[in-house]
Amino acid sequence: MKALYFDCFAGASGDMILGALVAAGVDASLLQLQLKALNVPGFELEFATVVKSGISATHARVHTTEQQTHRHLSDILGIIYDSGLSDNVKVRAARIFSRLAEAEARVHNEPVERIHFHEVGALDAIVDVVGASICFELLGIEGFSCSPLHVGSGFVDMDHGRFPVPPPAVVELLKGAPTYATEVKGELVTPTGAAIITTVCSEFGPLPMMTLRQNGYGAGTRNYDKFPNVLRVLIGDRAEAADDDRLTIIETNVDDLSPQVLGHVMESSFELGALDCYFTPILMKKNRPATLISILCDSAHSGLLAEMLFRETTTLGVRTHSVSRHALAREVVSVETRYGPINVKVAWLNGRVVNDMPEYEQCRAAALRSNVALRVVEDAARTAFAQTKAKQNSS
């Protein structure tokens, strides 16, 4: 599994995340091209290499000409869903802004639909959130984790007045995440940074075991003496260990949903951290054909997924129950073939490979590109993996 770790020793902001992801390998020109799909004029994204306390980092800056800085959640979601972005990017960006709106609603004791975004409703914040979501897709990130977050100290001036660091919205967003403060003054974690990280990350703590492949530093705007104001991202491969897991299944029966909505529910469930989602044709009372929606997840994601079912379907209730899963240890290995690089998902049992499966979408794209049968590319990937394994065993 390709995983990303946010190392927030100097906090995190939207522009720091964007800069770090470009420094870690995202093609800046491709990112800028995809951002045009927002269909919103009046902004330009610029990247520059800067040095912060001896560390070379990428600074992302959004230049805008707009005067509007206040938007409701519905305004922002309208921009996102009316854009030409991919569905995965739309869903992730919408989740980030929805989480931010929920935090603001708790702070101000107002319904979410009445929340008026201030600084984070500006076009530069929209570009930060959508840009980060595009970068995650371009990098192919499958899992996210984060260090404890250094929040800073002191006070910050906002539209509503002068508030202690971290400000109220950030406190709401960071509930459940490990945080700490030092003598370093200033707001190190911004609402945009907190919203992005707490939406995508499923775990917080020390750097997990992974094979490091890429890294990048995103620069903040502050300058400190002998303290680099940068965010570091570490990207690598994590092998998923074989273990007995206690998981949760969420189920509901629906008899009045269109196939399009069901497809959207499945896509949304995976975006929200589901491990699996499947539909079963059933008969309900009065012999009505219906669909049983089943979502497999860990307990940390069950609340969000149940909320999604209430929001996206017509169900009035969901059922949950715990199940036990025994999983093989597995990892993704990239191999070189005459048709290009292909990822092979490998499963292990007692130290031996028991299954190797080339990534279907990559094989399909390579087959179409080379005008050969799909099985030819799959066989080439398996052969390349076997050769790689043989070389490792002989060394």
Encode pLDDT of 18-34 as tens digits.
999 999 999 999 999 99
The whole-number pLDDT of residue 69 equals 61
The whole-number pLDDT of residue 240 equals 58
Return all residues near 95 (Cβ < 8 A) that are at least 6 apart.
199, 271, 272
How confident is residue 176, by pLDDT bands cut at 50, 70 and 90? confident
Neighbours of 303 (CB within 10 A): 14
The whole-number pLDDT of residue 118 equals 57
How confident is residue 65, by pLDDT bands cut at 50, 70 and 90? confident
State mean pLDDT over 323-332. 81
Q: Which of 31-35, 214-218, 239-243, 304-308 has the lowest mean pLDDT?
A: 239-243
> For all residues of the chain together, what is the average pLDDT?
89
- Do the first three CATH levels of 243-327 and 329-394 match, i.e. the same topology? no
Question: Domain extents for the chain?
Answer: 2-237, 243-327, 329-394
**Tokens matching residue 334:** 């990239």
The whole-number pLDDT of residue 115 equals 67
The whole-number pLDDT of residue 41 equals 86
The whole-number pLDDT of residue 34 equals 95
How confident is residue 11, by pLDDT bands cut at 50, 70 and 90? very high
At 237-273, the pLDDT tens digits run 986 554 556 789 999 999 999 999 999 999 999 988 8
Strands across the sheet containing 340-349 = 329-337, 340-349, 352-358
**Tokens matching residue 28:** 């800046």
At 121-139, the pLDDT tens digits run 578 889 999 999 999 999 9
The CATH-assigned architecture of domain 243-327 is 2-Layer Sandwich (3.30)
The whole-number pLDDT of residue 119 equals 53
Evaluate if residue 120 carries a pLDDT over 60. no
Evaluate if residue 292 carries a pLDDT over 90. yes
How confident is residue 160, by pLDDT bands cut at 50, 70 and 90? low
Q: Which of 106-110, 165-169, 340-344 has the lowest mean pLDDT?
A: 106-110
CB 218 within 8 A of CB 42: no
Cα 9 to Cα 152, 173, 182, 202, 231, distances in angstroms: 10, 18, 11, 19, 7
Closest to 186 measured CA to CA, from 221, 216, 217: 221
Evaluate if residue 99 carries a pLDDT over 80. yes
Percent of the chain scoring above 70 in pLDDT = 92
Closest to 377 measured CA to CA, from 367, 365, 387: 367
The CATH-assigned architecture of domain 329-394 is Roll (3.10)
Whole-number Å distance between alpha carbons of 136 and 92:
10
Evaluate if residue 80 carries a pLDDT over 60. yes
φ/ψ of 256, rounded to 5, equals -140, 35
